[in-house]
Structure 1
Amino acid sequence: MGIKVVKRHGSSFKDKLYLPAIAGGMKTTLKHFIKNLKDVDNLKTMQYPEVQPDDLNERYRGVHRLTKWEDESEKCVACYMCATACPAECIFIEAEERFDEKAEKRPKEFKIDLLECVFCGYCVEACPCDAIRMDTGIFSFTGDKREDFVLDKKALMKNERSKDLDND
């Protein structure tokens, strides 16, 4: 019938012990360790958080921010496009009527759960008003409880564009 029997690899006593594989891995690790000890200045390790990264470019996606008009009102028109485009479903918007001349509605509540966010940038691409951006340069966000990672409209509008990323 054309059946080919293939001998299973690792059936010898030496292979079953895994000692040669472990010794080979330890040899590689020891080789890198000695190389790094000889040339400490050439290490590619950053002493974070004492040393902060300085190689962030304009395409870096940091923590979100909501942009504002000149009168400090939010640009967001509560169209739900960012929440619809979000694959992680971490954006929650509740709309209310707007009485100024800018738009028909605005977000009464706008929340982003950073623990669920995958920082893909789809919300930024989907926004027709350029109201949400990820150019704050904030890459490390800490908190003591889960609620600290849910940013509301006030916190999102307080975030500013990073001066390091500012090319204007």
Structure 2
Amino acid sequence: MKVYGVTGWKNAGKTGLVERLVAEITGRGFRVSTVKHAHHAVDVDQPGTDSHRHRTAGASEVLLASSRRIALMQELRGAPEPPLDDLLARLSPVDLVLVEGYKRARHPKVEAFRAQRGNPLIAADDPTIRAVASDTPLDLDRPVFDLNDTPAIADFILAEVGLGPRPSP
């Protein structure tokens, strides 16, 4: 599987960019999965549901299945967070995995940047950032895209990972 990241500081536009890239790239006929890193406790399960009751009773894993989706919840119960490579290995094969966050991981990335946030560019000191998607023009040693030019950013990522044009289904 090809892996490409979208990184940046909080409220830089990462999630919106990933959302638009998924729609753009799947619209071109590619299969895309995503991995999102969260810096806070996350729970996709709701108290009172049967699956939540299974987890709180002590189950290590709970697989919830329906005719529309499958969700596998795994409890770390004090174990360290798995590295990104371990998480990627759990995914079913697709053409491209877009990774949101994971600033320090070594896969190639596009940095989402909003000047008004006042944060420094991560790209200045990080060679894994291959381009910047910005809300303002920047003079850098790598490509800079308008943060809202999703087709151009998608073209760049697909070229970077070696996925040529594919006709839409």
Q: Compute the TM-score of the two structures, normalised by the length of structure 2.
A: 0.22
| Structure exhibiting the larger radius of gyration computed from Cα positions | 1
